């Protein structure tokens, strides 16, 4: 049973990293579930403090993920359509076979969203798209950093208790 929990935990931690970039998956929350699954094994002693702090961080990032892009857009005079465009552009950019397609897609999506909001003012749309894009980058960076930290914690705990987990 421990082996199944370890493998499921690894899958969740990896999905957490992927979900930090894909807007459809709650990255840090999935990474936290990976940690929880690891600590539910019989081989690794439960660390309530670590799980509590990491859950609080994952939850806080989950909430901030909805606030930060909007703040970036508002700071630069952007609209909700620009923030939505950045998300849609990100998804389309991920499907393109070009390097950094998600970055280009997020900016282009924000620009298109701003031009849909106000097609007459290209200068304002560019400024707003930049704000939406910067908010998106800040939010994504924060999620990715937390998810990578969860992966490091997972890896450390797995390495520490390796012999206890894989004793047959």
Give the start-to-end residue ranges of the domains of the chain.
2-165
Top-ranked range on mean pLDDT: pick from 16-20, 63-67, 102-106: 16-20
Q: Can you tell me whether residue 41 is helix, strand or coil?
A: coil
CB distance 39 to 51 below 8 Å: yes
CA 78 – CA 131 distance, rounded (Å): 7
The average pLDDT across 6-11 equals 95
Structure-model confidence comparison of residues 75 and 8, the more confident one: 8
pLDDT value at 7 more than 70? yes
CA 126 – CA 107 distance, rounded (Å): 9
Torsion of CA 68, 21, 87, 55, to 10 degrees: -40
CB distance 12 to 37 below 8 Å: yes
Sign (positive or negative) of CA dihedral 137, 139, 144, 145:
positive
Q: Which two tokens stand for residue 54?
A: 């990491």
Q: Can you tell me whether residue 112 is helix, strand or coil?
A: helix
Structure-model confidence comparison of residues 65 and 78, the more confident one: 65
Structure-model confidence comparison of residues 164 and 8, the more confident one: 8
């Amino acid at each position: 049973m421990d082996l199944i929990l370890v493998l499921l935990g690894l899958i969740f931690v990896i999905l957490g990293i992927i979900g930090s970039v894909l807007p459809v998956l709650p990255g840090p929350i999935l990474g936290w579930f990976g940690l929880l699954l690891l600590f539910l094994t019989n081989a690794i002693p439960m660390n309530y403090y670590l799980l509590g702090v990491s859950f609080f961080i994952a939850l806080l990032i989950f909430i901030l993920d909805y606030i930060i892009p909007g703040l970036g857009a508002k700071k630069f005079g952007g609209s909700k359509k620009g923030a939505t465009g950045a998300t849609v552009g990100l998804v389309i950019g991920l499907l393109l076979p070009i390097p950094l397609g998600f970055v280009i897609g997020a900016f282009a999506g924000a620009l298109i969203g701003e031009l849909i909001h106000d097609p007459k003012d290209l200068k304002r749309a560019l400024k707003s798209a930049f704000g939406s894009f910067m908010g998106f980058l800040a939010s994504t960076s924060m999620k990715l950093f937390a998810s990578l930290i969860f992966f490091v914690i997972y890896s450390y705990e797995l390495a520490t208790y390796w012999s206890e987990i894989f004793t047959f």
